[in-house]
Amino acid sequence: MQQDFYIFRHGQTDYNLEHRWQGCGIDAPLNETGRSQALALVPKLAEKKLEIIYSSCLRRAAETADIVARQLNLPRVFCPDLREICLGNAEGLRADEVEARDPEFFRCWMSPDPQYAALAFPGGESKLEVRRRMLKALEQIADNAPQFNCFGIASHEDSILQLLENFGISLPHIANTSLYHLVRRDGRWELGD
């Protein structure tokens, strides 16, 4: 049995424009550009023949999922584990502000070197924890909804980046409403086209 997962990042928020880090403690709404980006995503997702959309509970992802779901006449289900990474005391700050607080920690956090994947800001999650959480969330969605073969997944930049790390893809950044395809075939995960 094959299940397809089309994972997309939410549309733009004002925090994105200000280059502020939005962890799971920042519940910013989409701005006008973000709503337009979500609408522009609809034709791409319509081609995929989605049957249902699962979304993070945070407003920016939920709004993006709602726009897509309404346009495609699909059900939308909240999944709290699709939320953004918890950045603890770094949430709401710009990268330069985080770096000024602790340059060495910032350098390690920003490094793609796997030895730093277990680091976390005070009160936050590590990248490794997010990788496990995101993959577990997709596993649970697949197992709990075997009647569906094609899922839309609305989530967040850092959570998607960490999910992709499970598949050997290391990216420094992904744009708003970027789209990725994962396939679960007979209980095993792989990258889709």
CATH of residue 65:
3.40.50.1240
pTM (two decimals): 0.96
What pLDDT, on a 0 to 100 scale, did the predictor assign at position 86?
A: 98
> What integer pLDDT is reported at residue 39 of this predicted model?
98
**99, exposed or middle or buried, with CB in 10 Å at 0-12, 13-18, 19+?**
middle
Q: Are 84 and 58 in contact (CB under 8 A)?
A: yes
The count of residues in the chain is: 193
Residues designated catalytic: 10, 84
Q: Which domain holds residue 157?
A: 2-191
Distances in whole angstroms, Cα of residue 25 to Cα of each of 52, 60, 85, 120, 175 = 26, 12, 9, 15, 21
pLDDT reported for residue 17:
95
> Distance between CA 19 and CA 17 in Å, rounded?
5
pLDDT per residue rounded down to tens, the chain (193 residues): 899 999 999 999 999 999 999 999 999 999 999 999 999 999 999 999 999 999 999 999 999 999 999 999 999 999 999 999 999 999 999 999 999 999 999 999 999 899 999 999 999 999 999 999 999 999 999 999 999 999 999 999 999 999 999 999 999 999 999 999 999 999 899 999 8
Number of domains into which the chain is organized: 1
